[in-house]
């Protein structure tokens, strides 16, 4: 009853919470709390297109965070926060930070409106040439689920690779070779089993290979890298969700990126399995893979 009265009162007051005009809206805004208000905005990129996954942070006059979240697929952000004059900060990878203020009042909806972010010039793409992986600052990590409960973390300790950067950047090419025997989860017995024919079959297939087919820009610092991954002689297509991390000058000119993907073991004929008496698999069917890269330009 209280919430229904509050909703009616809010809809009839100037500046009250109302359904934003958005393609994805299918329901009313959540009821505004009696002791707080609603703040919202829509974030756009430099072309005026809605920008998803931008981080919106709201802090009060004491610099205490009272709200934080990501914009949705239409660039919208909405949160209920305490009343007051708050600072709103909006950030997204590859863009300069934008800031503004919002005077949030009790039982009211405060809309900041459209916020357009500008590209960060410091995130310039690498120049054409051969960029070789720095083995001391590059790592291939993975996470596997164990008996449906905990997660096993591991890494491959030896790999090599390079990026042949072209102009335009979309025509660049990536090649990676990983030493299968370098797998390390911190437990020798488990690592020996992973090197065996049940899993990686290191004796017959000493390397894992990745070769890119296509690099596609998504937004800001986000790219999609399509390619082929070969494990124990079986090759399957893979997509790497990639965040470009920019360039630095330190012992040469360096560029960095973080690539993430999920692999299905069956796609690579890595099918060993043991089932517990309750039908629970000892090893999960999927593997989370991260490739953290620093590459140095050949001078």
- Same domain? 141 vs 105: no
Alpha-carbon distance 29 to 17, whole Å? Answer: 7
Task: For residue 256, give both structure tokens.
Answer: 């960095």
- Same domain? 219 vs 248: yes
* Helix, coil or strand: residue 6: helix
- Same domain? 114 vs 128: no
Q: Residue 113 has what pLDDT?
A: 95
Q: Residue 29 has what pLDDT?
A: 61
Sort 47 into a burial class: Cβ within 10 Å, 0-12 / 13-18 / 19+.
exposed
Contact indicator for 56, 87 with CB cutoff of 8 Å: no
Q: Residue 126 has what pLDDT?
A: 96
- Same domain? 274 vs 142: yes
Contact indicator for 261, 241 with CB cutoff of 8 Å: yes
The CATH code of the domain that includes 280 is 2.40.128.110
Domain that holds residue 171: 124-297
- Same domain? 147 vs 283: yes
- Same domain? 161 vs 243: yes
Task: For residue 122, give both structure tokens.
Answer: 């410091």
Q: What is the pLDDT along the chain (299 residues), one digit of tens a residue?
A: 333 443 444 443 334 333 334 433 334 566 667 788 999 999 999 999 999 999 999 999 999 999 999 999 999 999 999 999 999 999 999 999 999 999 999 989 999 999 999 999 889 999 999 999 999 999 999 999 987 788 999 999 999 999 999 999 999 999 999 999 999 999 999 999 999 999 999 999 999 999 999 999 999 999 999 999 999 999 999 999 999 999 999 999 999 999 999 999 999 999 888 777 776 777 888 999 999 999 999 98
Contact indicator for 189, 176 with CB cutoff of 8 Å: no
- Same domain? 154 vs 34: no
> Under 8 Å CB-to-CB from 280, ≥6 apart: which residues?
147, 148
**Which phi-psi region, left, alpha or beta, contains residue 6 (left: φ > 0; alpha: ψ -120 to 50)?**
alpha
Sort 257 into a burial class: Cβ within 10 Å, 0-12 / 13-18 / 19+.
buried
- Same domain? 81 vs 149: no
> Under 8 Å CB-to-CB from 84, ≥6 apart: which residues?
60, 61, 103, 104
- Same domain? 112 vs 215: no
Q: Residue 26 has what pLDDT?
A: 36
Closest CA to 182 of 212, 216, 152, 142: 142
* Of 91, 120, 149, the domain-final residue: 120
Q: How many domains does the chain have?
A: 2
Alpha-carbon distance 8 to 12, whole Å? Answer: 6
Task: For residue 13, give both structure tokens.
Answer: 């007051």
> Under 8 Å CB-to-CB from 267, ≥6 apart: which residues?
234, 236
* Of 64, 88, 120, the domain-final residue: 120
* Of 120, 155, 190, the domain-final residue: 120
Q: Residue 213 has what pLDDT?
A: 97
> Under 8 Å CB-to-CB from 204, ≥6 apart: which residues?
197, 232, 233
Has this prediction a pTM greater than 0.75? yes
Handedness of CA 150, 155, 161, 164 (dihedral sign): positive
- Same domain? 57 vs 12: yes
Closest CA to 138 of 6, 18, 255: 255
Contact indicator for 46, 115 with CB cutoff of 8 Å: no
- Same domain? 53 vs 174: no
- Same domain? 75 vs 191: no
The CATH code of the domain that includes 92 is 2.60.40.10
């Amino acid at each position: 009853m209280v919430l229904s009265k509050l909703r009616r009162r809010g809809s009839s007051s100037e500046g009250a919470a109302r359904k934003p005009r958005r393609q994805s809206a299918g329901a009313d805004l959540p009821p505004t709390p009696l002791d707080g208000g609603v703040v919202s905005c829509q974030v756009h990129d430099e072309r005026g297109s809605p920008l998803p996954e931008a981080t919106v942070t709201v802090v009060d006059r004491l610099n205490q965070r009272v709200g934080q979240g990501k914009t949705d697929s239409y660039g919208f952000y909405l949160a209920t926060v305490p009343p007051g004059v708050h600072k709103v900060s909006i950030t997204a990878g590859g863009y300069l930070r934008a800031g503004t203020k919002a005077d949030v009042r009790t039982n009211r909806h405060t809309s900041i409106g459209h916020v357009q972010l500008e590209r960060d010039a410091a995130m310039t793409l690498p120049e054409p040439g051969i960029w070789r992986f720095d083995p001391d600052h590059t790592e291939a990590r993975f996470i596997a689920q164990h008996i449906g409960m905990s997660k096993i973390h591991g890494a491959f300790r030896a790999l090599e690779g390079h990026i042949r950067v072209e102009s335009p950047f979309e025509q660049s090419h990536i090649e990676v070779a990983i030493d299968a025997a370098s797998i390390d989860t911190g437990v020798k017995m488990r690592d020996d089993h992973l090197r065996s024919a049940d899993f990686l079959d290191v004796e017959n297939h000493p390397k894992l290979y990745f070769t890119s087919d296509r690099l596609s820009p998504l937004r800001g610092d986000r790219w999609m890298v399509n390619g082929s991954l070969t494990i124990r002689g079986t090759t399957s297509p893979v997509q790497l969700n990639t965040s470009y991390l920019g360039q630095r000058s330190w012992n040469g000119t360096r560029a960095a990126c973080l690539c993430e993907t999920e692999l299905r073991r069956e796609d690579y004929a890595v099918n060993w399995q043991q089932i517990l008496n309750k039908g629970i698999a000892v090893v999960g069917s999927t593997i989370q893979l991260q490739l953290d890269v620093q590459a140095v330009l050949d001078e």
